[in-house]
Amino acid sequence: MKQKKNRIWLLLILPGTLFITVFMLIPLFSLCLTSFFPDQSFSFSSYLKLFGDVYFQQTFLRSIRLSLLSTLLCALLGYPTAYYISKHSRHKGVMMALAVFPMFTSPVVRSFSWMVILGKRGIVNNFLVWSGLFAKPQDLLYNEFSMTVGFVQLFLPQMILSLIGVMDNISDDLTLAAGNLGATRLGSFFHVVLPLSVSGLVTGSVLVFTGCMTAYTTPQLLGGADTRVLSTMVYQYAMSLRDWTQASVVAVVMIAVTMLISSLFSRISRKINPVA
């Protein structure tokens, strides 16, 4: 009887498992293989070559730096917003719809919008010149600044959504209990609300960080020739240089870094709130 039941469960997960195996695990595995077999024999040579390359080093560090910075900005901007929507907003549905609204437009359209806004004749530069802060329009596009702006706008909704999900589960009684036991508003925030929302902060951060690391359109459109990141580099190797081995090496490095930093985030979370 139990055996039979188990087989039915197997049937249920079979389609999904098959799909992921065929279209994700096998390609990923062959990608890894390609990166370790540059000339039909196993070697680390492609990796050594890549990490010895100054251009790659810069790109590698830029990718991580921009992703971490965008994650931090998303956390700083998203936390108060999520807190307000979850705990103090009367029109929660409307506020949430507004927060996730940007997700309904494609990243291509959004990147082009930023070009219009941040360009030499864009509204930001017009304002800077008009207000007399700067004499000439500034270079706001095709650099790390515009990329960060693009990343933050692209992934902020993810951060807000993960945080709201967790904050909704923090009972108001807990903050009242903290206050009743003598905690100030700030005290009950730091001792109760923050530790209990860390898991949402981490989920959001993993989503934002992974998103930033792997985003292609935004860095391609808002970045310049000297601000390449790993994802645009993969494209460059594969499509422009036709070097599939190097492309797969960069891809493997990208995956490894993303997984490493994501697991680091979760470890921090477990330190702060061992229960969640």
Residue whose CB is less far from another protein, 79 or 142:
79
Contact 207, 155 (CB under 8 A): yes
Q: How many CA atoms lie within 13 A of 228 on its CB side?
A: 18
Question: By three-state DSSP, how is residue 205 classified?
Answer: helix
Nearest approach, Cβ of residue 273 and another protein (Å) = 5
The region of 26-34, 108-116, 127-135, 169-177 touching another protein under the rule CB under 8 A is 169-177
Nearest approach, Cβ of residue 83 and another protein (Å) = 17
Residue whose CB is less far from another protein, 65 or 91:
91
Nearest approach, Cβ of residue 165 and another protein (Å) = 16
Residue whose CB is less far from another protein, 80 or 187:
187
Using rule CB under 8 A, residue 190 touches another protein: no
Using rule CB under 8 A, residue 268 touches another protein: no
Please pick, from the candidates 121, 173, 240, 271, the single residue that binds another protein as defined by CB under 8 A: 173
Please pick, from the candidates 178, 208, 250, 254, the single residue that binds another protein as defined by CB under 8 A: 178
Helix, strand, coil percent values for the chain (each to nearest 5): 80, 0, 20
The region of 93-101, 142-150, 152-160, 170-178 touching another protein under the rule CB under 8 A is 170-178
Please pick, from the candidates 15, 52, 132, 274, the single residue that binds another protein as defined by CB under 8 A: 274
Using rule CB under 8 A, residue 184 touches another protein: yes
Burial class, 225, CB count within 10 angstroms (exposed 0-12 / middle 13-18 / buried 19+): exposed
Instruction: Give the sign of the dihedral formed by CA 145, CA 110, CA 235, CA 265.
Output: positive
How far apart are alpha carbons 202 and 269 in whole angstroms?
Answer: 7
> Which residues 6+ apart lie within 8 Å of 208 measured at CB?
67, 70, 71, 74, 75, 151, 155, 156, 158, 159
Please pick, from the candidates 43, 105, 126, 171, the single residue that binds another protein as defined by CB under 8 A: 171
Q: What number of chain residues touch another protein (CB under 8 A)?
A: 21
Q: Which amino acid is at 98?
A: L
What the block records as the tokens of 65 is 């730096």
Please pick, from the candidates 72, 115, 124, 192, the single residue that binds another protein as defined by CB under 8 A: 192
Using rule CB under 8 A, residue 177 touches another protein: yes
How far apart are alpha carbons 157 and 102 in whole angstroms?
Answer: 8
Q: Which residues bind another protein (CB under 8 A)?
A: 171, 173-174, 176-184, 187, 191-192, 195-196, 273-276
